[in-house]
Amino acid sequence: MIYPSILERKYNEYSPFVKRVSEMVKSTLVNFCENKGYAFISRIKSVESLAEKIETGRFKKWSALDDLFACTVIIPTLSHEEEVIQFCKNAFEIARTVKRGQNKKAPDIFRFDSTRIYAQIKKNYAINIDDKLSIYNVIFEIQIKSAFEHAWSVSTHDLVYKNSEIDWRKLRLAAQIKANVEQLDTLILAFEQTSLIIQENNYPDIKIKRKLASEINKLFEKGKIPDELQPKDMNRFCDNLYRLAVDANQENNIQKIIENIKTEINSTPSQKIPRSISLFQYLFAILIRNKIIEIPIKNYHCHITEELTTLYPDIEIDNDNIFLYSEDR
């Protein structure tokens, strides 16, 4: 692509400042995203893309160009958007914010509509910066997209917009997929309410895991189990407990397992329930010691730690059935 030499000179003049801004913004936002579990991508606009942008006729002067550097924060659901906006307001000097839905859009139109924040690096007021050519005068763009929006963007952009042909059918298909994306984001926002209209299915495994979760949660609510033993994910915890029962051929004795656990915990003072092992290890020990589950269990590797064997020395499991933390054994 051929572009004017004046553009290349201006681009090269600004490049060191744009690069420095990109490093500073990425350092700030990557740390934030890693702490929150969000994804992050960024890019510095190429001189070719910049030429195309100027040729849209929408920009009056160089200082109006607002995405020489741009980045995207990818959030799980749109409910996380406000948190990102507030963080950016605290971290950067905000020039303007265009929120999703702010621009007029007919109800039958489906196109890019993510929230965009246009910002600058906050000035260090100990330094007097008057020169227009500085990192403090570079405006950059922060887009906030849901995971569904990002998937749509990366999946369709090259197929539709980096094609030598202008194809109505491809543009239409991209819009139809975007409509599905909007619907998915809406369903996620209204997940709790929408799930209530789904017809229940009497799937036995789910009923069993729900029963396990219900009874364990009751023990926590009554203070029978210390709060620090609360699993990170109750769904995963019940999956693991149910799998233990299945692998031990005790899936038909779930009620017996539940009653055994309840009896043991209810008869044990809270302060005597061990804090040095996980809740799963504790329940595992209860079931083994009361002979509800017998070991070894075929194709099952028990999570046996020094703390567990110290508390319950009567639990003896062959090394072949233990999860190993090293290759020594």
HEC-encoded secondary structure of 220-240: HHCCCCCHHHCCCCHHHHHHH
Residue 312 belongs to what domain range? 204-321
CB 94 within 8 A of CB 117: yes
Q: Are residues 127 and 255 in the same domain?
A: no
Q: Are residues 91 and 210 in the same domain?
A: no
Q: Are residues 132 and 208 in the same domain?
A: no
pLDDT band at 168 (very low <50, low <70, confident <90, very high): confident
Q: Are residues 144 and 281 in the same domain?
A: no
- End residue of a domain, out of 134, 150, 166: 150
CB 11 within 8 A of CB 50: yes
Q: Is the pLDDT of residue 144 over 60?
A: yes
Q: Are residues 12 and 137 in the same domain?
A: yes
Phi and psi (nearest 5°) for 269?
A: -55, 140
Q: Give the N- to C-terminal CA distance of the chain in Å, as an integer.
A: 63
Q: Are residues 47 and 117 in the same domain?
A: yes
pLDDT in tens, 21-42: 999 999 999 999 999 999 999 9
Q: Are residues 50 and 123 in the same domain?
A: yes
pLDDT in tens, 97-127: 998 866 666 665 656 678 999 999 998 644 4
| DSSP code for 121 | P
Would 159 be classed as within a structural domain?
A: no
Would 102 be classed as within a structural domain?
A: yes
Question: Where residue 10 sits, what CATH number does that domain have?
Answer: 3.30.460.10
Would 53 be classed as within a structural domain?
A: yes
Would 28 be classed as within a structural domain?
A: yes
Q: Is the model more confident about 325 or about 227?
A: 227
Q: Are residues 114 and 37 in the same domain?
A: yes
Helix (H) or strand (E) run with residue 155 in it:
helix 147-161
Q: Are residues 24 and 135 in the same domain?
A: yes
- End residue of a domain, out of 150, 166, 193: 150
Would 108 be classed as within a structural domain?
A: yes
Q: Are residues 240 and 146 in the same domain?
A: no
CB 134 within 8 A of CB 17: yes
In the chain, the number of structural domains is 2
pLDDT band at 7 (very low <50, low <70, confident <90, very high): very high
Would 172 be classed as within a structural domain?
A: no
pLDDT in tens, 182-220: 888 888 888 888 888 888 888 889 999 999 999 999 999
Tell me the HSE value of 66 on the side-chain side, using a 13 A CA sphere: 17
Q: Is 308 exposed, middle or buried (0-12, 13-18, 19+ CB in 10 A)?
A: buried
Would 212 be classed as within a structural domain?
A: yes
- End residue of a domain, out of 107, 130, 150: 150
Q: What pLDDT was estimated at residue 126?
A: 45
Would 186 be classed as within a structural domain?
A: no
Q: Are residues 209 and 119 in the same domain?
A: no
Q: Are residues 118 and 229 in the same domain?
A: no
Q: Are strands 140-146 and 69-75 parallel, antiparallel or unpaired?
A: parallel
In this structure, of 29-38, 130-139, 259-268, 309-318, the range with the lowest mean pLDDT score is 130-139
